[in-house]
Amino acid sequence: MIVDFMCFEFPERLFLFWLLPPLSVLMAYGVWKKGASRKRLADDRLADGLLGAYDLRRDAGAAFLRFAGFALLLLACCGPQICSGLQPVKRGGFDIAYVLDVSNSMRAGDVRPDRLGRAKQEIARIAQRGTERRRSLVAFAGSAVLQCPLTADRSAFDAMLDAAAPELLEAQGTNLRSALDMALRSLFPEGSAGAAPGPKAVVLLTDGEDHAGGIAAAGRELQRRHVRLVVVGIGGDVAATIPSDGEEGGEGAVMVDASGKPVGTSLDVKTLGDLATGAGGLFLRSDPPSSVADQAREFLQAFESGDRWVWEPFSREPLFQPFVLLSMVMLLAADLVAKGKKSGAA
């Protein structure tokens, strides 16, 4: 017996539904605030004469329709589908968390176009030649942020990669430990027991400066979880200056320390090499114009566990169009309800 059920093309986007509870609270507060403001302004009879008749039920109805329309749009963004039956299918590949250093030192121009630009190019090349099922992106400086959750949507990942910049994080400096911890959380979102089966890897791209410590413990944790680590070092051996975006320095200005001396930054090969060794991983140095993509992929594929059997639907039928249409109807109805209230008051 074949059973139809709803599934999603982009299940990683379901986290967007966490926006709905605060949105419902804000909408309810807005309806209450409007009524309370009228009462503070004047009594009901005078307020009706000045502002027109007020219908709480109509106002609440319009807010509910807007809320429902927004919820349906979120559902459509997740790619709802009608799925029929289940069949065993062989799947290869692995999940990769890309960890990108966006600290100020990555602005240094000792590699072209600069360290950050070079790191983005390496990520794009590794991902382009890869067979990973899903990928995530962690951006870090003095703290870490999950720039893109684990996803199979390549266009969404590429957009988040392009947007990664030092301005994303107020806390500057470099904290490799927090970045690796965030990468693990992206690969194991519900703990190790709830994570999807299959091999996992972390690809770290940084110049190696670390101001927090604890990276040896982070490397051991990766090894304990059987997560493969590739560390890609970006930068030169000779200290390079860091461009400054401050208005006072003008074009060509560089960052200076408290004594007014230019801040220099170079690739810390020892720190990154020790991290890779401690995690049972691989350290690579990105030296333009050649890329480390082939070496990184070759290393990761050596640990790939081969094809895995997974259960997938027999067939999938897209279902997002009805949800988009229904959402538009809801939003239009909300507008008509609100306009009806105003015309009734006139």
Whether residues 137 and 283 fall in one domain: yes
Give me the tens of pLDDT residue by residue for the chain, a chain 346 residues long: 455 778 888 777 888 899 999 999 999 998 888 777 766 665 555 555 555 556 778 888 999 999 999 999 999 998 898 888 777 765 566 889 999 999 988 989 888 899 999 999 999 999 886 656 789 999 999 889 999 988 888 888 899 999 999 888 877 778 899 999 999 999 987 644 445 567 899 999 999 877 667 888 999 999 999 999 999 999 988 888 888 764 444 456 787 877 778 888 889 899 999 999 999 999 999 987 888 999 998 888 777 655 566 666 777 788 889 999 999 999 999 989 887 655 544 5
- Per the structure, the complete domain to which residue 107 belongs is given by 90-308
The CA distance from 146 to 71, in Å, is 24
Number of domains within the chain? 2
Whether residues 172 and 104 fall in one domain: yes
SS3 49: helix
Whether residues 225 and 326 fall in one domain: no
The distance between the two most distant Cα atoms of the chain, rounded to a whole number of Å, is: 79
Identify the CATH number of the domain in which residue 127 sits. Answer: 3.40.50.410
The CA distance from 256 to 37, in Å, is 53
Whether residues 171 and 238 fall in one domain: yes
Q: Where does residue 143 fall: left (phi above 0), alpha (psi -120 to 50 degrees), or beta otherwise? A: beta
Whether residues 48 and 119 fall in one domain: no
Name beta bridge partners: 6: 82
Beta strand spans in the chain (E): 4-8, 80-84, 87-91, 95-101, 134-140, 144-151, 200-206, 227-234, 240-241, 264-265, 282-286, 308-312, 315-318
Whether residues 27 and 174 fall in one domain: no
Whether residues 78 and 224 fall in one domain: no
Whether residues 258 and 121 fall in one domain: yes
Whether residues 238 and 337 fall in one domain: no
The CA distance from 248 to 22, in Å, is 41
Whether residues 325 and 285 fall in one domain: no
Tell me the pTM.
0.66
What CA–CA distances, in Å, run from 54 to 37, 39, 256?
A: 12, 11, 62
Inter-residue contact 53 to 118 (CB < 8 Å)? no
Question: What is the reported pLDDT for 309?
Answer: 61
Give the phi and the psi of residue 49 in degrees, each rounded to 5: -70, -35
Whether residues 286 and 229 fall in one domain: yes
